[in-house]
């Protein structure tokens, strides 16, 4: 369907419609909004990092909340309050934003080769990428930050590759990818969600149904296709078990108490065409009892396929009968998409996608009911194309409406109290531009969302930015949600390179990266000034050298055409932000060298001639002069 333009109704209109219904029961129960001091006019002093424009200014009355209503400015030299980690979709990277400035501070290559960071250019990172399937790209969807006791612990970000069935780990000590696992027995792996409270398991949800193993058997027998849920141990990044299910798996989220994992299913019939997949009026929410699954694995009740214990979680499985099924199948309308667990761990909320409702499931009821459908305790009528839901910690849910191009704010307890398919729980809607997919609120995935900022990741931007040809940026819109009286306020449009898919937002106090490498953390041995040497043995040349302002350890090195050359280089600088690189013209090499970092690159000297090895990081006034000659003598 075509993007739906914003309606004429404005956020202000909606406030006036709904304020009466909501304020009287919201304010007493939830207290005052936490972050209303952030509003213009009261910012000075209260929050230094958010100081700036201090004049109280009028709403510009154009139906879009003006940026001047909420002070989201971050003056030169001041820092943002939050890190946002946005996946890069099929660009394969992860982007780090500052919030509320929405400035992109860093890219982290994950499934893509990237030369400025030398990612996939030095031996170690290239081997990591090659050993994990040797793909040049990935489809990075769901960045999730590791937690301890249901709060962010600043250790890792996990991110899935939907295209090739991989899971990667980003180390937040250095903001770099340090592990990638190629997951067997699955295709279209979605989600990188964790078992909480302590992120002791990472889950990859298999979206596409394929034969297992997918080696040519049952090629055109869709009934024999299967989807699996994959559990990965985060320290080792080893796949520890899988569960096969009926239908398929889409998005997922973990419960807060170490037991449950939830995933949606939009293809309960196991169909192979769009029209067939969209036919059923209900599909499934699947609730995985990970404790029961682990017991089944311990009891040997699995089939080993491609080295992985695969447990049978299909509806007909003997393990799924009785009073402790591995997987509970709950009927929810219609081609459900997103699922997320409320901060207090009480509910899992499922978005209908092809049904204008969200479905509220009370998690504790799984142990109490005979009919799994009796876990459903609410089903508010939210609007067209509900996809994903985030939380503010004040009892509200925020759901993206892809078809209506809106974000709807609704009251969770009111939805439990209300009739099914009622609009009563709806507090307000705000237009976004256009067609939102995921959204993220500050620390929404933890037990304590911060309740101030929300980002709507809109898939289309249309005419919101200067035109740049057929490929448009997406539009990540910053919305202030800290004032329940004023309602949601659109603050910023932010263009984004295709295709940010999902995000996590973490307070800056919870991440503490190192500006300089600890050589102990690196695989390759440190090369100090005294260690500089060239080792030659039949056809192999190993050059060990340093880099520092403004020279490499050797002014020139001579090798023979055909030699296999390994260059190990240490940046012996100790000053933060003083990077060098080792770039070799026409040899397709650029190795990044941060302070105290050692990297190694191996290549065959197959082109005779003079090649000026140079530093590609602008490191000093004599940066251009920081180069050495690689002299490749021709074969006789």
Contact 84, 99 (CB under 8 A): yes
Contact flag: residue 57 with a second copy (CB under 8 A) = yes
Q: Is the peptide bond before 100 cis (omega within 30 degrees of 0)?
A: yes
Q: CB 630: neighbour CB atoms within 10 A?
A: 22
Nearer to a second copy, 189 or 326 (CB): 189
Contact flag: residue 61 with a second copy (CB under 8 A) = no
Q: What residues numbered 568-587 form the site for a second copy, per CB under 8 A?
A: 575-579, 581, 583, 585-586
Contact flag: residue 50 with a second copy (CB under 8 A) = no
DSSP secondary structure of 280-325: -S-EEEEEEEHHHHHHHHHTT-SEEETTEEEEE-STT-GGGSSSS-
Listed residue (194, 85, 177, 99) closest to 138, CA to CA: 177
Give the CA-trace dihedral at 500, 448, 361, 390, to 10 degrees. -30
Q: How far is the CB of 235 from a second copy (least distance, A)?
A: 20
Q: What residues numbered 230-269 form the site for a second copy, per CB under 8 A?
A: 250, 266
Contact flag: residue 177 with a second copy (CB under 8 A) = no
**Residue 521: phi, psi to the nearest 5?**
-85, -5
Both tokens of residue 381?
A: 């009528």
Contact flag: residue 595 with a second copy (CB under 8 A) = yes
Nearer to a second copy, 447 or 541 (CB): 541
Q: Which region, judged by CB under 8 A, interacts with a second copy, from 15-23, 31-39, 447-455, 626-634?
A: 626-634
Q: How far is the CB of 304 from a second copy (least distance, A)?
A: 20
Both tokens of residue 259?
A: 């037991």
Distance between CA atoms of 198 and 359, rounded to whole angstroms?
A: 27
- Taking CB under 8 A as the criterion, the residue among 551, 566, 602, 603 binding a second copy is 551
Q: What residues numbered 498-527 form the site for a second copy, per CB under 8 A?
A: 498-499, 501, 508, 511-517
Q: Which region, judged by CB under 8 A, interacts with a second copy, from 72-80, 234-242, 322-330, 360-368?
A: 72-80
**Residue 50: phi, psi to the nearest 5?**
-115, 15
Strand-pairing partners, residue 253, are 262
Distance between CA atoms of 193 and 208, rounded to whole angstroms?
A: 18
Listed residue (538, 626, 543) closest to 579, CA to CA: 626
Nearer to a second copy, 195 or 209 (CB): 209
**3-class secondary structure, 434:** coil
Nearer to a second copy, 63 or 258 (CB): 63
Nearer to a second copy, 420 or 464 (CB): 464
Nearer to a second copy, 11 or 311 (CB): 11
- Taking CB under 8 A as the criterion, the residue among 8, 223, 274, 520 binding a second copy is 274
For residues 329 to 348, the per-residue mask of contacts with a second copy, x marking binding by CB under 8 A and - elsewhere, is ------x-x-----------
- Taking CB under 8 A as the criterion, the residue among 283, 428, 493, 563 binding a second copy is 493
- Taking CB under 8 A as the criterion, the residue among 13, 176, 294, 331 binding a second copy is 176
Q: How far is the CB of 364 from a second copy (least distance, A)?
A: 31
């Amino acid at each position: 369907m075509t993007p739906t333009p914003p309606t004429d109704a404005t956020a202000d209109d909606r406030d006036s419609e709904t304020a009466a219904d909501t304020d009287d029961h919201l304010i007493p129960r939830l207290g005052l909004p936490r972050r209303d001091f952030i509003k213009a006019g009261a910012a000075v002093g209260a929050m230094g990092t958010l100081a700036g424009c201090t004049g109280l200014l009028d709403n510009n009355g154009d139906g879009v909340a003006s940026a001047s209503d909420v002070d989201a400015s971050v003056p030169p030299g001041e820092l943002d309050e939050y890190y946002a980690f946005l996946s890069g979709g099929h660009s394969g990277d992860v982007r780090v934003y500052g919030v509320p400035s929405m400035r992109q501070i860093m890219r982290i290559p994950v499934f893509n080769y990237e030369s400025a960071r030398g990612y996939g250019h030095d031996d170690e990172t290239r081997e990591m990428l090659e050993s994990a399937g040797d793909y040049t790209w990935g489809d990075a969807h769901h960045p999730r930050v590791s937690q301890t006791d249901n709060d962010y612990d600043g250790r890792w970000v996990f991110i899935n590759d939907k295209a090739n069935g991989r899971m990667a780990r980003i180390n937040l000590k250095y903001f770099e990818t340090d592990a990638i696992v190629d997951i067997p027995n699955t295709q279209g792996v979605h989600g990188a969600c964790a078992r909480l409270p302590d992120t002791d398991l990472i889950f990859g949800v298999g979206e596409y149904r394929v034969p297992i193993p997918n080696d040519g058997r049952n090629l055109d027998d869709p009934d024999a296709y299967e989807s699996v849920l994959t559990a990965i141990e985060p320290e080792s990044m080893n796949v520890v078990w899988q569960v096969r299910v009926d239908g398929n798996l889409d998005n997922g989220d973990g419960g807060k108490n170490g037991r449950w994992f939830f995933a949606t299913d939009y293809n309960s019939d196991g169909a192979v065409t769009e029209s067939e997949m969209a036919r059923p009026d209900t599909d499934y929410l699947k609730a995985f009892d990970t404790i029961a699954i682990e017991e089944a694995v311990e009891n040997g009740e699995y089939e080993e396929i491609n080295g992985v214990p695969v447990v049978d979680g299909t509806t007909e499985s003997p393990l799924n009968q009785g009073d402790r099924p591995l997987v509970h199948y709950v009927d929810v309308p219609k081609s459900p998409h997103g699922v997320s667990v409320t901060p207090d761990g009480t509910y899992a909320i499922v978005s209908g996608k092809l049904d204008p409702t969200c479905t509220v499931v009370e998690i504790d009821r799984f142990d109490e009911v005979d009919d799994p459908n009796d876990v459903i305790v609410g089903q508010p009528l939210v609007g067209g194309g509900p996809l994903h839901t985030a939380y503010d910690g004040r009892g509200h849910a925020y759901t993206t409406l892809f078809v209506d191009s809106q974000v709807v704010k609704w009251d969770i307890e009111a939805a439990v109290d209300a009739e099914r398919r009622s609009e009563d729980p709806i507090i307000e809607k705000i237009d976004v531009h256009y067609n939102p997919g995921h959204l993220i609120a500050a620390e929404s995935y933890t037990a304590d969302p911060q309740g101030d900022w929300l980002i709507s990741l809109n898939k289309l931007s249309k005419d919101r930015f200067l035109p740049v040809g057929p490929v448009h940026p997406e539009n990540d819109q910053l919305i202030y949600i800290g004032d329940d009286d004023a309602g949601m306020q659109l603050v910023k449009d932010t263009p984004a390179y295709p295709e940010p898919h999902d995000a996590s937002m973490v307070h800056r106090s919870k991440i503490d990266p190192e500006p300089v490498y600890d050589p102990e953390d690196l695989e390759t041995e440190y090369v100090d000034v005294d260690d500089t040497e060239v080792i030659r043995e039949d056809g192999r040349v190993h050059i060990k050298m340093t880099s520092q302002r403004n020279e490499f350890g050797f002014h020139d090195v001579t090798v023979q055409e055909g030699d296999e050359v390994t260059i190990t280089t240490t940046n012996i600088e100790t000053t933060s932000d003083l990077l060098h690189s080792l770039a070799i013209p026409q040899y397709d090499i650029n190795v990044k060298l941060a302070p105290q970092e050692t990297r190694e690159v191996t290549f065959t000297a197959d082109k005779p001639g003079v090649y000026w090895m140079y530093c590609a990081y602008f490191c000093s006034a004599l940066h251009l002069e920081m180069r050495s000659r690689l002299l490749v003598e021709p074969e006789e």
